[in-house]
Amino acid sequence: MYFYSKTTFELLPDEMILEICRYLHCSHVLYSFFDLNTRINQTITSYRQHVWFRRASYKQLLYIYQYILPRIGSSVLSLTIHPLHQASFPSSFKHQISNMFPNLKTLTLTSWTSENLLSFIIDTIHEMKYLQKLIIQELSCSSSIRNIDFIEKIFNIKNNFLTDIIFDYDCDSFDSINHFINNIICHNILSLTIQLDTLMDLSSLIHFIPNIHRLDVSFKNSSLRKVPFNITLPYLKEFSVWAIHWYSQLDDLKSLLQIVPSIEIFSLTISTRDFNLINGTKLLSILPSQLKQFNYTVCYYPYENYGYSNIDIIKKSWQSIPVRYSISDIDKRIFLHTIPYTSSRLTIRSSLAKNMPNKDMYQIYSTIDQIQVYTMMNLSDTFPIIGQCRRVRELTLLTANESKTPTSQLTSTADNNKPPVKLPYLGRLDILTIEGTPSGLHHIKELLVAAPNLCVLVIDLDCLLTLLEDENEPLILYVLLHQHILDLCVRIPDNNNNNNNNNNNQQTKKSKLTVEKIHFIARVFTRVRNLTIDYEASDEYIETNIIKSIIKEFKQLVIFHIYGKIPNDMIENDIRQWVIEQSCFRIKSLDIFRVECSNEWFKLWL
């Protein structure tokens, strides 16, 4: 005789409960499991200590704010806040976040503008007594706020525990930091990551961080050109520099090293046409004697008198330090880095990524979290380097502008037909961004199969339609897109720019978003919960039936943003009532939801 035993969730072992939680987001774990019983509360301790909200409905988040956060606030050690979440804080603790989270050590602020972030910082962070790390991601610098004023406010936070400030790599770069900030000396800042416009901005910035121990700086519009530094950083031990958009010289590096007399770990990523900066013997001879670790990445673009004999010289010059390199078969550029690769991000040209060695050396790239491949012609060209970066989380692919690319540099038909490198398991890959429309787009199937947890897709409308409208694509592609993608961002390029292209008729036709195309896209992406439509630099008004169709077609939608010119009749109306009327009875007047509208954007949170 067989006896059937019914097992409830509460009776599952801790290991199984935590395995289930791995497939959920923090907000869903708290909303679903918190306070079932004391044991479950203990099991999900990590989700009570490290809180962030993603894909939660408006109703769920309000419940968490009202009933859960007041009870777990003292145990929260790290918190991530999006301006969408902050705007919905109940008035009871909107300005008392420091009291709600008295033991908070790490605060992450994502997708803010410098303008709306300033008021939050002034009202909140000063009172967080134990805050040690401030992380700012995807910051957009507002034209109404000078960069210098924003930096001053950040560095003027009165908190002796705050030692680490990170402006992540996806933030806008800061410029105009070319004068002293009166009375702002941040003695407590020991670690700083920041994106600056030029080296001149660094020459001013370092006056405010005299005790800095670790500095990670990227330059958007500058090489390492000589700049008159009149101060040194005597305590700086770890120095990381990114300057890949302009060519640097060996003498520039000598000048920069003069400000770091005690440096022990030096990481440098540059572009150059100076042979001395790819010659290991020359480069190593100028490094400080006390240096314990040198991490180096360089893209070298030779002049016309380039000869293959130089390759032998380069290889011999690096005999004392192990390196790995790739040579472009298009323009003979050389990409070289020391082993192991120690940075969390990698930026590489497609022609160099394609020729990276295929043998398993993935341990070398175990630290890489973000990859950006630029001037890409064929999607499969990126696979050799992606296959070596098995812990990558975010992948950005930038397609070459065909109208500016010489015919000699285009990928050949043989390359298009060549089977791509087989990708290994990419379990951490979460975000895929494709700008432009590359050839070999059908190879995205291999990427989706290798990355089962990929759930965010950022893509141009032209590229998306090219992918979906290909009648030769097998059904499995649509199945994979349906299964994977929960967050979809569709960029719509400016038609005026497209008219300058040779294929302007086809481009303009594809670039226009219509109700029919929305229906077509929604049939594939039925699981999408977060949807963003971005009309980039467009002067055309967004048709109201576009918004109506999106609300109707995307059945699982939780958060919807559309950026562009919003029609006046929407702005002038009661926007909440307008949404209810346009939703075709999907949204009721008694439903809990949030909607905001301006002349440049429309935001809906269901």
Convert the pLDDT of each residue in 236-276 to its tens digit.
999 999 999 899 999 999 989 999 999 999 999 999 999 99
pLDDT at 407: 39
pLDDT at 12: 85
Tell me if 346 sits within 8 A of 306, measured CB to CB.
no
Q: What is the dihedral of CA 319, 324, 328, 332, to 10 degrees?
A: -20
Q: Helices marked H in 437-474 — which ranges?
A: 444-450, 461-468
pLDDT at 330: 85
Q: Considering just the CA atoms, what is the radius of gyration of the chain in Å? A: 26
The tally of CA atoms less than 13 A away on the side-chain side of residue 452 is: 4
Instruction: Indicate the DSSP class of residue 109.
Output: E
Average pLDDT, integer, range 457-483:
92
Rounded Cα gap, residues 523 and 430, in angstroms: 22
Rounded Cα gap, residues 467 and 473, in angstroms: 8
Res. 78: pLDDT tops 50: yes
pLDDT at 263: 96
Average pLDDT, integer, range 226-231:
76
pLDDT at 482: 95
Least confident of 9-13, 124-128, 445-449: 124-128
Least confident of 298-307, 358-367, 501-510, 562-571: 501-510
Rounded Cα gap, residues 221 and 246, in angstroms: 7
pLDDT at 404: 43
Tell me if 103 sits within 8 A of 76, measured CB to CB.
yes
How would DSSP label each residue in 354-415?
Answer: TTS--SS-GGGGTT--EEEEEEESBGGGGHHHHTT-TT--EEEEEE--GGGS-GGGSPPHHH
Tell me if 240 sits within 8 A of 215, measured CB to CB.
yes
Average pLDDT, integer, range 50-76:
90
Average pLDDT, integer, range 486-496:
85
Rounded Cα gap, residues 52 and 68, in angstroms: 13
Q: How far apart are the first and last CA of the chain?
A: 50
> Which one has a higher pLDDT value, 120 or 281?
281
Least confident of 120-124, 145-149, 250-254, 338-342: 120-124
pLDDT at 1: 47
Rounded Cα gap, residues 140 and 397, in angstroms: 21
**Residue showing tokens 């694509």:** 473
Q: Is the peptide bond before 340 cis (omega within 30 degrees of 0)?
A: yes
Least confident of 230-244, 466-480, 518-532, 549-563: 466-480
> Which one has a higher pLDDT value, 172 or 89?
172
> Mutual orientation of helices 114-124 and 147-155 as an angle, nearest 10°?
20
**Helices and strands in the chain: count of H runs, count of E runs:** 26, 22
In 3-state terms, what secondary structure has residue 325? strand
What does DSSP say about strands 50-52 and 78-81: parallel, antiparallel, or unpaired? parallel
Average pLDDT, integer, range 337-359:
90
Res. 178: pLDDT tops 60: no
Least confident of 46-60, 263-277, 371-385, 485-499: 485-499
Rounded Cα gap, residues 80 and 89, in angstroms: 13
Tell me what the pLDDT averaged over the chain comes to: 86
pLDDT at 501: 44
> Which one has a higher pLDDT value, 93 or 284?
284
Res. 484: pLDDT tops 90: yes
Top mean pLDDT of 169-173, 391-395, 582-586 is at 391-395
Q: Please, which pLDDT band fits residue 383 given cuts at 50, 70 and 90?
A: very high
> Which one has a higher pLDDT value, 496 or 11?
11
pLDDT at 307: 59
Could you tell me what percentage of the chain is helix, strand and coil, using 3-state DSSP and rounding each to the nearest 5?
A: 35, 20, 45
The pair phi, psi for residue 400, each rounded to 5°, is -65, 145
pTM summary value: 0.90
Res. 573: pLDDT tops 70: yes
Res. 498: pLDDT tops 50: no
**Residue showing tokens 């398993």:** 360
Average pLDDT, integer, range 396-401:
88
- Element at 549 (helix H, strand E): helix 544-553
The contacts of residue 86 (CB under 8 Å, 6+ apart) are: 120
Q: Give one word for 130, left, alpha or beta, with left for phi > 0 and alpha for psi -120 to 50.
A: alpha
Between CA 292 and CA 95, with CA 168 as vertex, the angle to 5 degrees is: 130
What type of residue sits at position 340?
P
Rounded Cα gap, residues 317 and 284, in angstroms: 9
Rounded Cα gap, residues 335 and 357, in angstroms: 12
pLDDT at 504: 42
Rounded Cα gap, residues 345 and 372, in angstroms: 8
Tell me if 582 sits within 8 A of 548, measured CB to CB.
yes
> Which one has a higher pLDDT value, 499 or 86?
86
The tally of CA atoms less than 13 A away on the side-chain side of residue 378 is: 23
pLDDT at 292: 96
